[in-house]
Structure 1
Amino acid sequence: MSIKTRFAPSPTGYLHVGGARTALFSWLYARKHGGKFILRIEDTDLERSTQESVDAILEGMTWLGLEYDEGPFYQTHHFDRYKEIIQQLLDQGDAYYCYCSKEELEQLRTEQMANKEKPRYNGKCRDIVGPKGDREAVIRFKNPVDGAVTIPDLIKGDIVVANKELDDLIIARGDGTPTYNLTVVVDDMDMKVTHVIRGDDHINNTPRQMNILKALGAELPKYAHLPMILGPDGARLSKRHGAVSVMQFRDDGYLPDALLNYLVRLGWSHGDQEIFTIDEMVEHFDLENVNVSASAFNTEKLLWLNHQYIMNSDPAHVARHLSWHMGELGIDPTEGPSLIDMVKAQRERCKTLVEIAAASVYFYKDFDAYDEKAAKKNFTPGSDEVLARLHDEFAAVTEWNGEALHQIVLNLAETMALGLGKVAQPLRVAVCGSAVSPAIDITLSLLGKEKTLARIQRAINHIKNLN
């Protein structure tokens, strides 16, 4: 059997963390078994679906690197097919027109609630044959009344639902547009989806969809329902917990690899292994080891993981993602050291790409002012003389490299009988604007001779003006 999975988001908002994990698990399962992964945009909710949301979903999938083999397919392009299937169900006697008004249904619901009964349609129109003139009607699926549906869930085990618990759901609205449970069934059938991997908030839909598939004589896919993701407070993850949009994580400086690694471990495990390459995820992933219980989202753990990726990934890969953040700060990376060298210099101390970008601005742009605290501590009387000596020594250097520059700093500290900090720190503040930077030899090497000399001279003038 050729495996085929799908990710089917509704374009009513951004691609959120839960959706991204569903997409990842579906993608991994297809890749593990040499199958195909489909992207389907379920946009039949015409009032809430937007092109902006479609674009956000596509952008999120691209940033994560979850390439799809087929699609994106749009349900709004398949209305004729849904109409054909609805008619087939009517002709078979597996669907019927329902003329109950909203008021009647509301009254029915109120009475059932008062009697402490489960609210459900009572089948009043179930035996009506054919439409009643021009009266507007919805179309309902005639769900079996006897027996039970067993979902052989690949994560949760067998889930049994009695048919009497399932009412006759609406498959077409009064205006003729199909509803979610009908369109999903038709698409999964037509696209030959073999495995439906989705959140466990869909468990209530699954037996209904299975009954429709059976009525159509279709082969049932295998189902796997993923447990939900919770916030730190134990409630379902939502906007109020902060960054739940995938692209918000990009904006906050996370690498997509780190987010994927975090998401795959959010509900699945392979021994005690914490860090996985994409190839390792594909090799080891299975549904048997997906947790049955919900998982809590831990931002601190994600941040730790992101730092591991920044430190240990190919610097060229990190630099490609860093480039976007430099652009957000109005910096052209070609007007300074290479971003690969910048990643190497900053990755030990920075946990996000946002931190690297912010800590690297002075390599590309002159700063307007010195950090007040750093200048007060290090630009003291006599520090201008130290900087003047350094300026002369650096100006005489013919080959600008970190090792030689560091030796000059060491020699000057010894010659002037000063602690290394009394030389290196005024120099650091002079060229960086603050007391924090990579090692001074790396900092000077990346800045280059011209910028270093100009900034040292500026600092000398500044100190003279102060004193």
Structure 2
Amino acid sequence: MTVTRFPPSPTGYLHIGGARTAFYSWLHARQNNGRFVLRIEDTDLERSTQESVQAILDGMQWLGLDYDEGPYYQTQRFDRYKEVIADLLAAGHAYHCECSKERLDAMREEQKANGLKPKYDGRCRELGLADADNTVVRFKNPLTGDVVIEDMVKGNIVISNHELDDLVIARPDGVPTYNLTVVVDDMDMGITHVIRGDDHINNTPRQINILRALGAELPRYGHVPMILGQDGARLSKRHGAVSVMQYRDEGYLPEALLNYLVRLGWSHGDQELFTQQELLDLFRIEDVSRAPSAFNPEKLLWVNQEKIKQLSAAELLDKSAWYFKQAGIQVEETAESVAVIDLIKERCKTLLDVVTQSQWYFCAVSEYDAAAVKKWIKPGTSEILSTLIGKLADVSDWTADNIQHCVQQTVDAHEVGFAKVAQPVRIAVTGGTNSPSIDATLAILGSAETLKRLRAGLAAFV
């Protein structure tokens, strides 16, 4: 059975690079009727926080990346790691090392001065030292031969064991190091496919050698390229490398973010938008590009807008419910509220836009946009609004066509441009000038509410 894993470190939030890796791993497991494991690698006791753990769990839930096992926590597995370290020592695959930091620093400086790659020189490798307060445990890496990584993304990668040193697998206090804990976890959890960033390539041959020393079956590896900023630099906050939950707060659909992220390094012809089922059918980890991809916030926003357009008005209202609540607006799904969302849907790039573009319907006008008032409320506006109010009050069949007829009659009567009628009306009924067509806006507000707001505006503009 295919088993993949996502192992974030809770030293910060779930960022978009991690989200893409998690999605690739999730897709690979789901495509193969396998299992997807969530593992929290929290052995960095100084930097790991419960807040970060919760941020990761919240991010996974919001993205819809459900896991079949976990979350497992490495801090709850220290006894198991110590057991494996003891087994490696007993089998002669590891040894105690007493070299001081000062000696190691001097050794590396000398190696650099001689043009050599810095690595541990093996001084304690065959001394048979006993455990002591100042000793670390090192893995006895093979001295000859090559490690061949049959990488699903990058093809075969060959690394000489001569290039690898005897890495530390346990610190003086007994705390295991990253490369040891990862190996034990992958082995115990039956991980068959390791999909991760290519910044881990240097760790992979070391982990393979430890797995072989333990007699474990090797997983398949796939190292995906980094995501860069548009300037070619490593992705940072200034490029948009923020918590995935910030994208939620800014009104992005989780399916839009995943759609965009999966395309950073993978493609299917010229297709840009995919349903989740299409991705399950089409995505292959072997088709991921070997080259880094650039994160483009404008493209992400476009994908989000297109995904919004694909939703029905009822679906969009449902997905916007949290944002209405955050804004303190009570909205229930009715035929009228759905009609409002349908009216403004094409204008929305984010779910925040859904709230701002429709709140004129759900909320009474409490203030008028000062810049709009200054631009459009002029001498003569009161007379224009009075004329329109009179005409609208006589409308018995409240339809967009009849409303438009009244507006046009008012334009003709006062011999002004259409905007000089429509914009003051918009300000009166919505508070500003940003709304759908005036006839559609007034039609959906209804006769009573329209006249109430127009009369309030008339009084305010005098």
**TM-score bracket for this pair, using the shorter chain length:** over 0.9
Distance 2:281 2:127 in 1: 54
* Offset of residue 359 of structure 1: 3.0
Counterpart CA distance in 1 for 2:438 and 2:405 is 11
The answer to whether the Cα contact below 8 Å between 2:133 and 2:172 also exists between their aligned partners in 1 is no
Partners of 1:341 and 1:186 lie apart in 2 by 56
Report whether the alignment pairs 1:346 with 2:313. no
Q: Find the counterpart in structure 1 of residue 256 from structure 2.
A: 258
Cross-structure match for 1:182: 180
**In structure 1, how many angstroms separate the alpha carbons of the residues matched to 2:180 and 2:447?**
69
Amino acid at match of 1:299: P
Contact 1:337–1:447 (CA<8 Å) still a contact in 2?
no
Contiguous gaps of at least 5 residues in structure 1: none
Aligned to 2:360: 362
Equivalent residue letter for 1:34 = N
CA offset digits 1:172-222 (Å, max 9, x no partner): 111111111111111111111110000000000000000010011110000
Whether the 8 Å CA contact 1:63–1:256 is kept in 2: the answer is yes
Structure 2, unaligned stretches of length 5 or more?
none
Deviation at 1:240, TM superposition (A): 3.0
Identity in percent: 56
Q: Deviations over 1:135-180 (max 9, x none)?
A: 3311111110010100000110000000011111111111111111
Say if 1:418 and 1:85 are closer, same or farther in 2 by CA, change over 3 A.
Answer: same
Query: Is the aligned partner of 1:66 residue 2:65?
Result: yes
Q: CA deviation at 1:130?
A: 5.1
**SS of the counterpart of 1:96?**
strand
Q: 2:272 aligns with which of 270, 274, 277?
A: 274
Matched residue SS, 2:166: coil
* Corresponding residue for residue 285 of structure 1: 283
Are 2:376 and 1:378 equivalent residues in the alignment? yes
Are residue 44 (structure 1) and residue 43 (structure 2) matched? yes
1:114-153 alignment, distance < 5 Å: 114-129=113-128, 131-132=130-131, 134-153=132-151
Cα deviation, 1:334-360, whole Å, max 9, x if unaligned, reads 499966444322222222222332333
For 1:219 and 1:70, locate their aligned partners in 2 and report how far apart those are by CA, in whole Å: 20
Inter-partner Cα distance in structure 2 for 1:355 and 1:243: 22
Cα distance in 1 between the residues matched to 2:232 and 2:124: 43
1:264-313 CA-partner distances (Å, limit 9, x unpaired): 11000111111101110110010221101100111111111111111122
- Please identify, of 179-188 and 436-445, the stretch whose mean Cα deviation from structure 2 is larger: 436-445
- Counterpart CA distance in 1 for 2:241 and 2:218 is 36
Instruction: Find the counterpart in structure 2 of residue 56 from structure 1.
Output: 55
For 1:333, the equivalent position in structure 2 comes to 331
TM-score, normalising length: structure 2: 0.94
2:158 counterpart letter in structure 1: V
Cα 1:446/1:183, change in 2 over 3 Å = farther
Shift of residue 376, structure 1, vs aligned partner? 3.5
Aligned AA (2:256): A
Partners of 2:82 and 2:135 in 1: how far apart? 15
Once the two structures are superposed, the pairs formed by residues 15-26 of structure 1 within 5 Å of their partners are: 15-26=14-25
Answer whether contact 1:185 1:209 (CA < 8 A) is retained.
Answer: yes
**Counterparts in 2 of 1:66-465, with a 5 A limit?**
66-129=65-128, 131-132=130-131, 134-334=132-332, 340-395=338-393, 401-413=399-411, 419-464=417-462
SS at match of 1:333: coil
Q: Matched residue of 2:156: which SS?
A: strand
In 2, the alpha carbon distance for the partners of 1:25 and 1:420 equals 53
Q: Is the 8 A contact 1:38 1:71 kept in 2?
A: yes
Structure 2 CA distance for partners of 1:270 and 1:146, relative to 1, 3 Å:
same
Matched pairs, number: 462
Which moves more between the two structures, 431-440 or 175-184? Answer: 431-440
Higher mean displacement: 289-298 or 232-241? 232-241
Structure 1 residue 33, shift from structure 2 partner: 1.3
CA offset at residue 394 of structure 1? 4.1
Q: Give the alignment's Cα RMSD to 1 decimal.
A: 2.2
- Provide the rounded CA distance (Å) in 1 between the counterparts of 2:209 and 2:166: 11
Equivalent position of 2:2 in the other structure: 3
CA 1:341–1:106: 2 relative to 1, 3 Å: farther
Deviation per residue, 1:371-429 (Å, 9 max, x gap): 33432443333332332343344445566554554444345545666654343332112
TM-superposed deviation, 1:242: 3.4
Partner of 1:13: 12
With over 3 angstroms needed to count, the CA separation of the structure-2 counterparts of 1:342 and 1:77, relative to structure 1, is: farther
> 1:63 Cα deviation (Å)?
1.1
Per-residue deviation, residues 7-49 of structure 1 (Å, max 9, x unmatched): 1110000111110100011111111111111111111111111
> Structure 1 residues 322 and 161, CA, compared in 2 at 3 Å: closer, same or farther?
same
